[in-house]
Amino acid sequence: MLGDRLGPLILAEIGDIRRFHSGKALNAYAGNDPPPYQSGTFESYNRHISKRGNAALRKYCFEVMQALKLTRPQDDPVYLFLLKKEQEGNPYNVAKMAGVDKFLRIYYARAMETLKQQ
């Protein structure tokens, strides 16, 4: 899925994958997580992404989503997830950032699985 240009850029921005305890932590590092919001007993779940993390990583992952839309790989789970989010009526950027979330979680799981096998 990653090409000769985006792959190394994403790897360089993430660094050592072992410093993250989960795919959710990797998404937080990229700034692709919603910030918590609580006030008294009210807790909001429908929030924008925090953008507190690594802006370059977020940008490179967004470019991966655009590349997926252009190449249309029918066997790719992230591409199928993007289509699902767009069919649900989500705006363009919301669907793409949901795809980035899924992409980073899959990347984390596969990288950790590879490290365990070594």
Q: What is the DSSP letter of 95?
A: H
Angle at 21 between CA 35 and CA 98, to 5 degrees: 45
Q: Fill in the amino acid letter for 69.
A: K
| The residue to which tokens 């792959």 are assigned | 7
Question: Sign (positive/negative) of CA torsion 9, 34, 65, 99?
Answer: positive
Q: What is the mean pLDDT of residues 29-50?
A: 74
Nearest to residue 69, comparing CAs of 84, 58, 83?
83
Show the tokens assigned to 116: 């365990």
Residue 29 or 37, more confident: 29
Q: What is the pLDDT of residues 89-109, one digit of tens each?
A: 988 888 998 999 999 999 999
The pTM assigned to this predicted structure is 0.86
